[in-house]
Amino acid sequence: MPTMLLIEVRRLLREPQFLVFTIGFPVAFFLIFVGIYAPSQEDGSLVALMLSMAAFGAITASVSTGGLVATERSLGWNRQLRLTPLPAWGYLAVKAAVAMLVALPALAMVLVVGAIMGVDLPVLTWLQVLAVAWVGVLPFAAIGLLVGTLATQESAQGATMITMLLFSLLGGIFIPVAILPPAMVTIARALPSYWLADVAARPAVGGGVPWEGVAVLAAWFVAAGGLAVWRYRRDAVRV
């Protein structure tokens, strides 16, 4: 497993266009929205925007990484791995770890740009925000794997884009929940994307642990991860 993890990381590092997409887009959106809305540090709107774009970057990175599984399935790489001692759960665990590793620089870069744009937080708070947000990426690592095990090579890109946009739009990443109708707010609070940004903001703006959000994130992680394992094993049986 450590060897495969190293191979996967090296492969992604050889694809700069993938890193530009997963890291560059969230930073670009953050700078664009700062220019349009001129949020401030005093009322917390700059912090909220920064964390929303950090969440978008994490979602993009983790779901896109998981979506690459579809390509490997089409090329027969999974069948080759089943001939090795690597267990099925090990393959999925490595893919989830890679998704988490790719999401980390996406999160960190948006936070760095946020600090440059005027977000002023104690060093310990910055570290808490990064750590909490990174843990909150786990459900999306599982969701990306599920998309990758369900999609084909031809549909993988479209499936990952639709997944990212749905979670970002319905979860309040691009559209503030405060302006949504009550029915849409209910939907947003049931999605991990809403709680990813909310939970990450708690160390910066104060407040206790949102246990409802922790429960939603955990439920999505268990459900999506369980379905991804089931689908992967089903592929193995069919082979």
Find out whether 12 and 98 touch, Cβ atoms under 8 Å: yes
Mean pLDDT estimate for the chain: 84
Spatial distance between the Cα atoms of 49 and 235, rounded to a whole number of angstroms: 41
Confidence of residue 157 (pLDDT cuts 50, 70, 90): confident
pLDDT above 80: residue 83: no
Confidence of residue 82 (pLDDT cuts 50, 70, 90): low
| Domain ranges (residues) in the chain | 2-238
Find out whether 97 and 134 touch, Cβ atoms under 8 Å: no
* Averaged pLDDT for residues 76-89: 64
pLDDT above 80: residue 127: yes
What is the per-residue burial (b if ≥16 Cβ within 10 Å, else e) of 32-41?
ebbeeeebee
Confidence of residue 122 (pLDDT cuts 50, 70, 90): very high
pLDDT tens column, 15-39? 767 777 778 888 999 999 888 877 7
pLDDT above 90: residue 11: no
Structure pTM?
0.87
pLDDT of residue 6: 75
